[in-house]
């Protein structure tokens, strides 16, 4: 399936009525030096106060040199704080050796007046020591769209540690550890996952109980009476742009981009919220892996509220869904995305 349709843009988001106070367990990590911390393979830039679903979680920490300094399973309990102290060893710098004189040549330091050999060390006085390679730059996840250790698979074969073709039961085992609320339906499971002060939705879709699509949706929220409510008056541009940046960092420029405006609306008229509400606007960026046919689409549209969504699909299983004329929710796989989106 060369072009995936924005399925999530057709899904009512009633599942997102989750408590703003969930989850109720807290993990605090302390260290004597800055760390890059992952919990269940999700990067947490601020790790001194991590809100987690009660249960067991895998914690990994990497130091500034790119070396793993902590790897363990921890337990988080309801309304309790779990503290982890990670002490990283401080390397002792060896004392400088005094130069050894032999005749008129001094070994251990360049002779005065000798030039710098840009070609590296030659073993002769005045030569440079070999360049020490810099530690690789650690990936910076700006928003959670399923990166594992800060990355998505190069062949677009999945997200959240899930791979296309995985059995529904295994998908549910992995994803249910993250969620604060879930729905299991025939052919698809929906997970509402806390993120920062809000939440996002992950929907996993199956054909013959095998995973073939992963859909991540970020609407805008506000909080009322400790409940997250959909904000129908704000377009989630920050989430959309952060998704785009993360996908660009891994896959480069999109293969195609579509900015569709109908009914007299345009991208520059300042009425995008109105256009989205009236189903007169849709923005899509598309990436496809040429080797597998696996596909990623980033879209900005409207369901019951403005929504930014990233959709991953399997090339072979997506083709099968199209051939079978599969129908999930209001989406009909035998139709084009434009027909599906603008007719619903």
**Which ranges in the chain belong to alpha helices (H)?**
168-175, 237-251, 272-277, 315-323, 337-342
Nearest by Cα to 36 from 10, 3, 72, 65:
65
Q: What is the pLDDT of residue 182?
A: 83
Task: Say what the pLDDT of residue 292 is.
Answer: 94
Rounded to 5 degrees, what angle do the CA atoms 70, 73, 78 make? Answer: 125
Contact 263, 280 (CB under 8 A): yes
What are the φ and ψ backbone dihedral angles of 277, each rounded to 5 degrees? -60, -35
> Looking at residue 73, what is its pLDDT?
77
Return the pLDDT at 130.
56
Mean pLDDT by 10-residue block, N- to C-terminus, for the chain (344 residues)?
34 41 73 84 77 77 82 82 83 43 35 39 48 57 87 93 95 88 88 85 94 93 77 89 92 93 88 91 94 94 90 94 85 75 75
What domains can be seen in the chain, in order of their start residue? Answer: 7-18+140-342 (no CATH), 25-86 (2.60.40.1120)
Cβ 292 vs Cβ 309: under 8 Å? no
Give the pLDDT score at 137: 56
């Amino acid at each position: 399936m060369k072009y995936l349709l924005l399925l999530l843009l057709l899904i009512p988001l009633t599942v997102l009525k989750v408590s703003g106070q969930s989850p109720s367990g807290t993990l605090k990590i302390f260290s004597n030096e800055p760390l890059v911390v992952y919990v269940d393979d999700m990067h947490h830039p601020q790790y001194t106060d991590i809100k987690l679903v009660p249960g067991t979680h895998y914690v990994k920490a990497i130091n500034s040199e790119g070396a793993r300094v902590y790897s363990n399973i921890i337990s988080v309990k309801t309304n309790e704080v779990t503290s982890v102290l990670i002490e990283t060893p401080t390397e002792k710098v060896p004392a400088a050796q005094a130069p050894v004189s032999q005749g008129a040549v001094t070994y251990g330091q360049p002779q005065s007046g000798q030039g710098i050999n840009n070609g590296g060390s030659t073993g002769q006085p005045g030569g440079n020591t070999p360049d020490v390679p810099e530690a690789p730059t650690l990936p910076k996840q700006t928003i959670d769209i399923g990166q594992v250790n800060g990355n998505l698979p190069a062949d677009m074969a999945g997200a959240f540690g899930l791979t296309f073709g995985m059995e529904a039961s295994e998908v549910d085992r992995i994803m249910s550890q993250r969620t604060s609320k879930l729905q299991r339906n025939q052919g698809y499971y929906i997970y509402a996952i806390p993120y920062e002060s809000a939440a996002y939705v992950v929907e996993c879709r199956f054909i013959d109980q095998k995973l073939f699509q992963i859909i991540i949706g970020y609407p805008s929220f506000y909080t009322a009476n400790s409940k997250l409510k959909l904000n129908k008056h704000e377009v989630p541009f920050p989430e959309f742009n952060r998704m785009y940046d993360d996908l660009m960092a891994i896959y480069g420029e999109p293969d195609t981009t579509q900015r569709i405006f109908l009914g007299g609306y345009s991208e520059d008229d300042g009425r995008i919220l109105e256009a989205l509400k009236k189903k007169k606007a849709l923005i899509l960026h598309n990436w496809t892996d040429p080797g597998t046919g696996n596909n990623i689409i980033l879209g900005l549209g409207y369901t019951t509220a403005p929504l930014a969504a990233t959709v991953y699909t399997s090339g072979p299983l997506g083709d099968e869904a199209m051939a079978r004329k599969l129908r999930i929710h209001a989406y009909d796989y035998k139709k084009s995305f434009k027909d599906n989106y603008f007719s619903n």
